[in-house]
Amino acid sequence: GNSVTQMEGPVTLSEEAFLTINCTYTATGYPSLFWYVQYPGEGLQLLLKATKADDKGSNKGFEATYRKETTSFHLEKGSVQVSDSAVYFCAPQLPTGNQFYFGTGTSLTVIP
């Protein structure tokens, strides 16, 4: 079946620390891969995406690379800021019907 496993939170980091949030998936076919972010009190927003193997999505200093061989799409940022505090969702998008499968979300808190 289709599923996504996301690193459990909550994660607490100091400002300027390095961030990695792991995401692995199982899917029928060849999905597109997305990271969505939910800031406190706001709706889900697209953070970045990659649609084929070895593609790197990037936005706001965040990066993730589509690794087909390990079925992973780990999110990284070299230096986090307090404003990055949010819940991050990994979401493979299936090739049939473009349905998303969301992970459970990883809560990140960055402290000054």
Partner 1 sequence: EAGVAQSPRYKIIEKRQSVAFWCNPISGHATLYWYQQILGQGPKLLIQFQNNGVVDDSQLPKDRFSAERLKGVDSTLKIQPAKLEDSAVYLCASSTRGVMGETQYFGPGTRLLVL
Shortest Cβ 89–partner 1 spacing (Å): 6
- Nearer to partner 1 among residue 19 and residue 103 (C-beta): 103
- Nearer to partner 1 among residue 52 and residue 81 (C-beta): 52
Binding residues for partner 1, rule: CB under 8 A, are: 4, 6, 31-32, 34, 36, 42-46, 49, 51, 89, 91, 93-95, 97-100, 102-105
Shortest Cβ 16–partner 1 spacing (Å): 29
Instruction: Burial-class residue 50 by CB neighbours within 10 Å (0-12, 13-18, 19+).
Output: buried
Shortest Cβ 50–partner 1 spacing (Å): 9
Quick check: 35 and 45 in contact, CB under 8 A? no
Rounded Cα gap, residues 15 and 90, in angstroms: 23
Radius of gyration of the chain from its Cα atoms, rounded to whole angstroms: 13
